[in-house]
Amino acid sequence: MPLIRSLRLIALSIPLSAACTGGDDVGPSQETDDDTSTTTATDGTAGTGMDSDTDPTADDSTSADTTGEPGDGYPDEVLDHLELPWPAHEYDEELPPHFQVEAVTNLDNTPPGNAITDAGATLGRVLFYDRALSSNETIACASCHVQTDGFTDVDTFSEGFEGGLTGRNSMNLGNSRYYATGHFFWDERADTLEDQVLMPIQDPIEMGLTLEQLVERVQGQPYYPFLFEQAFGDATIDEERISLALAQFVRSILSYRAPWDEGIVATDFDPMVNFPNYSAEENLGKGLFFGPGGNCAICHMEQQGPPPIPGEPLQNAAIFQLVEAVNNGLDAALDNDDNGVGDATGNAMLNGVFKSPSLRNVELSGPYMHDGRFDTLREVIDHYDSGVQPHPNLDPRLTAPGPGGGMP
């Protein structure tokens, strides 16, 4: 089988049908639309971040754990506007064993003062889907990070509150909790996730509010005082608490129930063993991804500290993401229209360096790269197979001979 097709198969099978703890697309009921629907993956499970035993077309108001009537725990001022489950979703479920090893837990960027709580993430979830957080109340965070599309946008650039377009493709938010540096955006200009979640709201193209206007807008919604009190102990609404709640919800968007996760547990955490739940072609693609044929895992299964011992199973068998921003050879010139981290820092040694999103849900999250230049996974694999350009800041791993390295 050709290298390209086999690698594409493994790319599809690793992240498909992941589970997001409580990430159903539900916000203020007057704001919900067709985005509340979900799709079903080819294996019959929800391929959008929902648990496989959840009806992907159901609102929370029709689920088994809520009646939507007063007395469920929410007061009328919440129930009149929102459809939320009671009791709240469990947003910080115990993760599988391959997520609990030191190589993975060391990647967790959760700060000591903002651990995920059910009440905090519930509040963050409502904020995430609330179009009241944009200047003309037409755009929410979820407008550019759509659950059914892997919490990203299928358009190359996202449309803001007045129809303007963003300068980069919307990044997949899945497993943001496990980006160790804690820096966010393609150019890593946000030092923490808590900083990042407020920046699109203030962007003049995306959502168009000042922080003062944001706080006033949230204070003006009748459903928020109760939710803030549940999350923080009293009903005070300020920009810090808005930031903390949004960051909690984004960190709760986790993919850990994909076919990959079933297979890695079944084979005692050895990615080189054939997975019993994979097809022959998927196992072939997996072998290429982790073996010398494709050599993809050397970047996409990174861990902090020294590199893994050759021949030993990878200590990180959960997080498909680079641990830091790199230059992946998209362009040859030192100076381009968008230099990523180089532009953000003013350091030309970092020109062409960009943060890489997780490969989880990668089938759903195209187009690809910061500028959305690749429409398909085949184009992405073609790039790494034969299209890497000799940029002066190119990651050294892409200069090695053989597949996954070298330049045309």
Q: Report residue 292's pLDDT band, with 50, 70 and 90 as the boundaries.
A: confident
Task: Say yes or no to pLDDT of 66 above 80.
Answer: no
Structural domain contains residue 105: no
The mean predicted confidence, pLDDT, of the chain is 83
Task: Please determine, for residue 284, whether its predicted confidence score (pLDDT) is greater than 70.
Answer: yes
pLDDT, position 308: 65
Mean pLDDT, range 285-304, rounded to an integer: 90
110: in domain: no
CB count in 10 Å sphere of residue 396: 8
How much is the average pLDDT of 149-165?
A: 97
- Residue 367 predicted with pLDDT over 50: yes
pLDDT bin (cut points 50, 70, 90) of residue 211 is very high
Identify the domain boundary among 223, 251, 279: 251
Q: pLDDT band for 16, please (50, 70, 90 cuts).
A: very low
3-state DSSP of 152-175:
ECCCCCCECCCCCECCCCCCCCCC
Q: Is the pLDDT of residue 361 over 90?
A: yes
Number of domains observed in the structure of the chain: 2
In angstroms, the CA 396 to CA 359 distance is: 21
194 & 317 share domain: no
Residue 230 sits in the same domain as residue 350: no
Domain boundary residue among 208, 230, 251? Answer: 251
Report yes or no on 201 lying in a domain: yes
pLDDT band at 247 (very low <50, low <70, confident <90, very high): very high
On whether residue 33 sits in a domain, the answer given is: yes
Specify the CATH number for the domain of residue 52.
1.10.760.10
Higher pLDDT, 4 or 147: 147
**243 and 389 fall within a common domain:** no
The model's pTM is: 0.84
Based on the fold, state whether residues 203 and 308 are members of the same structural domain.
no
Residue with tokens 């299928």: 154
pLDDT in the model for residue 61: 30
Tell me what pLDDT residue 314 has.
77
Q: Say what percent of the chain tops pLDDT 70.
A: 78
Q: Is the pLDDT of residue 27 over 80?
A: no
DSSP string for residues in 309-366: PTTSPPS--S--S-SS-B---S-SSSS-S--BHHHHHT-GGGTTBB----STTTTTS-
DSSP bridge pairs for 165: 159
> Residue 70's pLDDT is what?
46
Same domain (yes/no): 347, 380: yes
Same domain, 221 and 266: no
- pLDDT band for position 72 (cuts 50, 70, 90): low
Question: How distant, in Å, are the alpha carbons of 146, 148, 262, 357 from that of 37?
Answer: 11, 8, 26, 24
Among 204, 229, 251, the domain-final residue is: 251
Which pLDDT score is estimated for 305?
72
- Cα–Cα distance measured from residue 346 to residue 344, given in angstroms and rounded to the nearest whole number: 6
CB under 8 Å to 163, separation ≥6 — which residues?
Answer: none
Confidence of residue 262 (pLDDT cuts 50, 70, 90): very high
Contact partners, residue 243, CB within 8 Å, separation at least 6: 194, 195, 197, 198
142 & 57 share domain: yes
* Residue 303 pLDDT: 83
- Quick check: 190 and 38 in contact, CB under 8 A? no
- What integer is the mean pLDDT of 12-36? 33
Same domain, 271 and 242: no
Residue 315: band (very low, low, confident or very high) from pLDDT cuts 50, 70, 90: confident
Looking at the fold, whether 208 and 262 belong to one and the same domain comes out as no
Same domain, yes or no: 229 and 291: no
Is the pLDDT confidence value at 406 over 50? no
Best CA proximity match to 29, nearest among 78, 66, 75, 73: 78
The domain spanning residue 288 has which CATH number? 1.10.760
Q: Is residue 98 part of a domain?
A: no
Whether residue 204 is found in the same domain as residue 282 = no
My answer on whether 218 and 364 are in the same domain is: no
Q: What is the per-residue pLDDT for 33?
A: 31
Q: In angstroms, rounded to a whole number, what is the distance separating the alpha carbons of residues 387 and 374?
A: 12
User: Which of 268, 313, 344 has its CA nearest to residue 97?
Assistant: 268
Q: Which domain holds residue 290?
A: 1-16+258-408
Say yes or no to pLDDT of 370 above 90.
Answer: yes
Contact 10, 288 (CB under 8 A): yes
State how far the Cα of 32 lies from the Cα of 130, in Å rounded to an integer. 9
Is 80 exceeded by the pLDDT of residue 319? Answer: yes
Residue 49 is predicted with a pLDDT of 32
